[in-house]
Amino acid sequence: MSFLVLAAESLAVGGLIHLLIVLIIVGLILAIIWWAITQIPMQPPIATVVRVIFVLIVVLVLLSYLLPLVGVNL
């Protein structure tokens, strides 16, 4: 019985480590995109719209990775 519990825990830890690595890679990609966006000179209203859209995309990406952990899918 304890072998099954240890096996289930190791699978859960492996899944969380995989999720952590994926989130780090996605975070680095999004950070590079954010840096590129800030390097482009834009007028104030357009810059605000671009920032809001970028934040919405980041939130959707995070939700798509984190919500399945609690059993909810987008």
Q: What is the pLDDT of residues 2-28, one digit of tens each?
A: 554 555 555 577 777 888 898 899 999
Question: Does residue 64 lie within any of the structural domains?
Answer: yes
Straight-line distance from the first to the last Cα atom of the chain, in angstroms, rounded to the nearest whole number: 35
Question: Does residue 11 lie within any of the structural domains?
Answer: no
Question: Does residue 15 lie within any of the structural domains?
Answer: no
Question: Does residue 71 lie within any of the structural domains?
Answer: yes
Question: Does residue 4 lie within any of the structural domains?
Answer: no
Question: Does residue 30 lie within any of the structural domains?
Answer: yes
Written as six digits, the tokens of 51 are 């920032």
**Tens digits of residue pLDDT in 45-55:** 999 999 999 99
Q: How many separate domains does the chain show?
A: 1
Question: Does residue 1 lie within any of the structural domains?
Answer: no
pLDDT for 18: 84
Three-state SS at 72: coil
Which residues touch 26 (CB under 8 Å, ≥6 apart)?
Answer: 61, 65
The pTM assigned to this predicted structure is 0.72
Structural domain boundaries enclosing 63: 24-74
Question: Does residue 8 lie within any of the structural domains?
Answer: no
